[in-house]
Chain A
Amino acid sequence: MQVTSSVREPLITGGKTLKDVTHDISRQVEGKPSLAWLLAFLVSVGVLLLGFLALAATLWEGIGMWGLNKTVGWAWDITNFVWWVGIGHAGTLISAVLLLFRQKWRMAINRAAEAMTIFAVICAAMFPVIHMGRPWLGFYWALPLPNTFGSLWVNFNSPLLWDVFAISTYFSVSLVFWYIGLIPDFATIRDRATGLRKTIYGALSFGWDGAAKTWMRYESVALILAGLATPLVLSVHTIVSFDFATSVIPGWHTTIFPPYFVAGAIFSGFAMVLTLMIVTRKVFHLEDYITIGHIELMNIVIIITGSIVGIAYITEFFMAWYSGVAAEQYAFINRMFGPYWWAYWSMMTCNVISPQLFWFKKIRTSIVATFLLSLVVNIGMWFERFVIIVTSLHRDFLPSSWVMFYPTISDVGVYLFTFGLFFTLFFLFAKFFPVINMFEVKSIVKSSSVKIKK
């Protein structure tokens, strides 16, 4: 434990004792579901089922159900994929990078953020599979498995294959990291529970005994996993950006993509964490744990990453002009003034201009403003991927093949499906898992020597 200055603002307000912490968080798991939760859960399941119709239609009839065409081979599918993967990044950043940097404020939010990561990656990973023409073969042909097809291997040159590795690694590491962090808290719930609940949480807690040695092992594992997860924060979106950067299409073929994508991912991830946290703290009355201080810090991360993204946009333009390549220049002029100008300017407004509002302390400490802006940022980041993918493809080298892309109801439906899936999983998590890392928060309840203000 490092020494914390007494002038620091306490990270947990409301004079919580250790017992309060256990109680405040465990009661969500132990109590009957609230009406608000039930309604929200039902809506999520409803959206999931509605979206499933579109997903089923796509799987049954073919990718033709979407609005794609001969020139635009990817649109909403890969936009959604990159968007969801990007969102996932915040969780890993918070739990791993901030752990390594000993940022204690992360403790109140890392559990939910990590859960968000996992669910977002599940949603994201769905798209590379369902966007295939033949997912029933592709889902395992894309893996480097020994086989009887004359020992036919995957193409290690393909960025899509790198994606397979990147996403699967990311998902497994995040899942393990998240689950191991959950074990001590499951044990806490187990210890408070009786009956069937005790059995279930007992199984989930893997026989955690809370011994000093166990804690020691736990700490080392957490640190190792954090160390493993940290490069993933950078690598996953770097590799995702290679899908575009290694291609020859003007607007895709850009070396700036890896850092630009990573910044964008953190940007959108924090926005999503904020969206979720603001709702969760309200619904579960966790205002003392997730404080304005958290919100403000996350908003600062959003200003920084938003500005990086903004600079990246401008750099792209500069490079297009500086390259002297006509097709490249046209691709960027087309983004701004072509038929998809509205997507471009939505992206610019949402991602570059709106986060700058957080320079005002009043705005970055306002719950309502933060909530709204977090939604705006997520919309903006969706448009960023749409702009990169669709406006680059729809007018590339040969004007004879220039087309427009119009989404169909199935495009929308499949996107809805992932929302339904994400929120269904998140609400299940919020109800049955401790949404705040109890044992970690306990370590910061009294991290300063100041007398607890009641």
Chain B
Amino acid sequence: MKENKKTYWKGLEQLTNDPEFIKNADKEFPDYLPINQNTDGSASRRDFLKMMGFSIAAASLAACEAPIRKAIPYVNKPVDINPSIPNYYATTFASGGDYASIVVKTREGRPIKIEGNTLSPITKGGVNAIVEASVLTLYDKQRLAGPYINGERTDWSTLDNEVSSKLRSAGNVKIVTNTILSPSTEKAITALVESTGAEVITYDPISQYGILKANETFFGQSVLPTYHFDKANVIVSFGADFLGTWISPIEFAKQYSQGRKISKDRPEMSRHFQFESNLSLTGANADYRTPIKASQSGLAVLALYNFVARKAGASAAGSTNIDIPHLEKAANELWASRGKSIVVSGSNDPNVQVVINAINDLLGNTGQTINLSKPSYFRKGDDAKMNQFVADLSAGRVGGVIFYNCNPVYDHPKGEEIAASISKAKVSVSTNETMNETASLVQFVAPDHHYLESWNDFNPRKGEYSLSQPVISKLFDTRQAQESFLKWAGNEKGYYEFIQDGWKAEMFENQTEIAGFQDFWDQALYNGVYAVAEEVEEESISGGQGLSGAASAISNQYKAQSEGTELVIYQKIGIGNGTFANNPWLQELSDPITKATWDNYLTVSQKWASENNLRMSEGSTKMAQITVGGKTLTLPVLVQPGQAEGTVGLALGYGRTKAGKVGNGVGVNAYSLLDISKGFVNYDITEGVSIEITADSYRIAQTQTHQTFMDREYVIQEATLPEYKENPSAGRYHPEIYTDGKFVKPSKISLWKGHHYSQHHWGLAIDMNSCIGCSACSVACQVENNVAVVGKQEVLNRREMAWIRIDRYYSSAEGASSAKELEIAADNPQVTFQPMMCQHCNNAPCETVCPVAATTHSSEGLNQMTYNRCIGTRYCANNCPYKVRRFNWFKYHDNKDFSAVNVAQNDDLGKMVLNPDVTVRARGVIEKCSMCVQRIQAGKLTAKRERRKIKDGEINVACAVACPTDAIVFGDMNDPDSKITNMLKIEENTTSATKEVNEERAYHVIEYLNVSPNVWYFTKIRNKDKSEA
């Protein structure tokens, strides 16, 4: 560029070189402009700009949403944690002897959902309500945040020093525990035993001591057998609730369902007889159920033996002058299915169990459906030893006691005595996770990890092992109890290494498939389960000892006729033995039979109710006082059809005093009523029971208060097996509508043009024959979909939020025809369970009435709910024929009124369990089953990313995954190869919403309305000779 030679002056002053100008020539701004920090302290222009800038920034920041508190970003992202991508880890749930192999879903490091581990040969991917709900206990603020000495927080080293030294000097140390399934834990305890000379006392709140003792007598082995309900064509159960609460219900439900699946090609199913006092979940599924008094139960078993013995040509045992309906029929059918039948009893009386063994032996079931060569270890409790311990403790003969994750003060019949005597021991230690009834009385509390924070191994059955791994770092300053034991025994090794050492020595060395231990360990950990290669040891176990003694004892102790009231103590599906009473999901779980939440109660027969002028309506009832051997409890009464006359039922697990804010004071504690005078814990109290109804009113929070299905064929369609064999569509109700001169199916007439689904058409098929009503689906849905817990008062107000519920219907009394008569359940009713959720109607009545189009139909057949758009007119809920829509009557999250019950949406820790893929609903909007649309979406995205079609089964809804009996099948009805298409026998390949279904059993609930649901039900088939009420 050419140099510019011209000179430009800024002004005349420059030209004239004015001295005044020269002085200021190098300054950009004149002095009088406030450009620099003013010396006089007044605000400069810069200050002004700074301040203005700051104000604007501050104002705009403040206008944004409040910053998220306590969010901690990853500085270095862990390799295997991707935001929004879940990780799954196999681990094991074990509480005492209750066992399930599980897979835990974690999101951003938080465990949020539990599903069954399909690799497990025991639970086979099944779970139950308690297992599903246990993830919330991880985030329970009642868990102790660190060790305590005499109620004061302390640190671990102080505790270790004191405990180790005191234990050694205490003399006569007892370690009290529930059943321990873990071999490594046993080894760790053994280490402590060796160093302190302690003795291990095992007891179980729900004892199976009777079976252990009987098997010792009869077979010479004090173990539980492995039961095979799947191999049994005839199942006879005397009060054993094997589908709900007995020993290993998940496993048994899975097995049982195999015998209940029925199709045109295989029109066979097992026949199930149940003889019981309370109407149990198992009894509700029985084909023939006979209510008997508890005092008769021993004789009933003996009578069955005698019937079978007569057939077998064996001699009768004892005298059994008793007439029990269906018993002889059961015997005949058992005999016809020798080796393919099973007889079980829920009694804890060893004598009864001996006779049960004898029956199974006569039938050749031992070794077939009852396998003692592969014993199970679910219950190891020794009632006699525990009684002795209580006696020793109160006599001051126990120097030191360690309660390993057990709570005998609450759940042992002599809990009060234990509570009063703990202080007599010089040193008392508890490893409980919470300051429960027992832990609050001991000197040292060394809280254990939650099982989701722990390493452990389990051996539930001979040859079957499973592993437990932490899925989250410990939340509190807790320490694994086994590590504590090792430490107190002077072994400084971590428990993880301790387990590995054991596995290296015992498992790894005895296998040849995997070369390196690390690979072996990783594989076992990945699978969650490990089976030891079966040694061929088909030792035929036979027995036959002690029958005559047992028979005569039964003849003496049981009565064919008794006048007095009898109390039969049982467990509920949700609360179980009470360990998880502080879990609101379980408290609010509607009991499958009584449909009651948040309470235990006396279940009484309809006859007793009418004698006492009691009529329940909307859960309102009277209080009663029950007195057993001088102990009196006041509790509400619930009229239970099917309850044996002269008996009342009462559930354990309630009446906790130190469970936490959720569980405290809910119901009454029935453990204190148990009878241990015969040397075993007797759950059937047949003598000295008196009940007096009081004038006090009470309301039990039931989610369903109408008992019968009013003979509505469009709701429940059922048939008997012989009818089904004759006609596969037996029991089906085919509504027809007259139009254009002929009768047609309702689906042929519609105002609508009908949807077309060019891609997927999601649907559910629900087999009412397989559904046992266990309600695992209900909890699974609650966890998956962040369904709020609303508390007892709101359940009383009939506002529970469950997206999937189990409708339980009793049959009406025989001959009932008028509306009033149909409302009354039969005295011993047939029971039908019907899972009910949004039916995702193709002609959805809810969609047309929403004024703001907040609920709409998806292009894949789903009925969608747009929470953001909902204004809450509730018109959709009113117009829903299935009444599955739920309204947010209040703000359930972040609301102090609900913080006591809805911990998963109120408590800062509890919120960790929320599924981040599902919105927590606001006040004033409707919600309902979305068919787990978040799972469908995730599955579709995965397939899309991998550029492939969706494989059938890769997407599954939470309820179907949880179902231990595979009663719920989810799938794409447009996919000709999907399971649901085959189940329903959808013939033509059509994209139309109305699918022609050729399966005779499949029906729509309320078909005649032609709302065209995408949920199909399969008729309930009962294996009865003829239909009866």
Contact = CB atoms under 8 A, between A and B. Distances in A.
Interface of A: 61-64, 67-71, 73-74, 128, 131-135, 137-138, 141-142, 149, 152-155, 157-161, 164, 243, 246-249, 325-327, 330, 333-334, 337-339, 393, 395-404
Contact of B849 (A69, A158, A164, A330): A158
Interface string B884-902: 0111111100000000000
Interface in B702-716: 704-706, 708-710, 712, 714-715
Contacts of B849: 157-160, 246-247
Interface in B358-413: none
Given A152-B869, A333-B819, A73 B705 contact: no
B925 interface: yes
Interface in B599-639: 617-618
B1003 to A, nearest CB: 14
Contact of A399 (B715, B805, B853, B1006): B715
A248 B715 contact: no
Interface SS of chain A: loop
Given A333-B819, A397-B882, A63 B889 contact: yes
B104 interface: no
A141 B851 CA distance: 9
Interface in B934-962: none
Interface string B805-819: 101110000000001
B715 A397 contact: yes
Contact of A63 (B617, B705, B800, B872): B872
Given A71-B883, A133-B925, A397-B882, 17 more contacts: A62-B924, A63-B872, A64-B797, A64-B889, A70-B799, A138-B852, A141-B871, A155-B850, A155-B853, A157-B848, A326-B712, A333-B819, A397-B715, A399-B706, A400-B709, A400-B809, A403-B705
A70 B883 contact: yes
Contact of A133 (B704, B807, B871): B871
B870 A133 contact: yes
Contact of B809 (A155, A399, A403): A399
Contacts of A161: 851
A63 B924 contact: yes
A398 B715 contact: yes
Interface residues of B, number: 61
A326 B708 CA distance: 16
Contacts of B709: 399-400
Nearest to A149: B869
A68 B848 contact: no
B879 A249 contact: yes
Interface string B721-742: 0000000000000000000000
A153 B883 contact: no
Interface string B907-949: 0000000000000001111100000000000000000000000
B924 A401 contact: no
B820 interface: yes
Given A399-B706, A403-B618, A70 B800 contact: yes
Contacts, number: 178
B715 A133 contact: no
A153 B853 contact: yes
B968 to A, nearest CB: 18
B356 to A, nearest CB: 36
Given A133-B870, A133-B874, A134-B924, A337 B887 contact: no
B798 interface: yes
Contact of A400 (B808, B871, B872, B922): B808
B872 A138 contact: yes
B991 interface: no
A249 B852 contact: no
Interface in B841-865: 845, 848-853
B158 interface: no
17 contacts: A62-B888, A70-B877, A73-B887, A128-B873, A131-B873, A133-B887, A134-B923, A138-B871, A142-B852, A142-B871, A155-B850, A155-B853, A159-B849, A160-B875, A247-B849, A397-B712, A402-B706
Nearest to B806: A400
A246 B879 CA distance: 10
B836 A398 contact: yes
A323 to B, nearest CB: 11
B832 to A, nearest CB: 11
Interface in B338-374: none
B754 to A, nearest CB: 16
Contact of B889 (A62, A247, A325, A333): A62
6 tightest CB-CB pairs across the interface, nearest first?
A133-B872, A133-B924, A64-B889, A138-B871, A73-B874, A69-B798
Nearest to A131: B873
Contacts of B805: 400
A302 B710 CA distance: 40
A429 B712 CA distance: 55
Contacts of B797: 64, 67, 69
B870 A142 contact: no
A160 B889 contact: no
B145 interface: no
Contact of A68 (B819, B888, B889): B889
Contact of B878 (A74, A137, A142): A74
Contacts of A152: 853, 869
Nearest to A248: B845
A65 to B, nearest CB: 8
Given A133-B874, A134-B870, A398-B883, A62 B925 contact: no
A108 B906 CA distance: 62
A87 to B, nearest CB: 22
B871 A134 contact: yes
B1011 A142 contact: no
Contacts of A70: 798-800, 877, 883, 885-887
B873 A160 contact: yes
B869 A248 contact: no
Q: Which residue of B714, B807, B871, B881 has the most chain A CB atoms within 10 A of its CB atom?
A: B871
B799 A132 contact: no
A108 to B, nearest CB: 41
Contacts of B706: 395, 399-400, 402
Contacts of B1008: 325
A149 to B, nearest CB: 8
A142 B887 contact: no
B806 to A, nearest CB: 9
Given A74-B878, A159-B849, A63 B1006 contact: no
A376 B692 CA distance: 47
Contact of B848 (A62, A158, A393): A158
Given A62-B923, A73-B877, A134-B871, A403 B890 contact: no
Given A70-B800, A133-B887, A393 B852 contact: no
Contacts of A402: 705-706
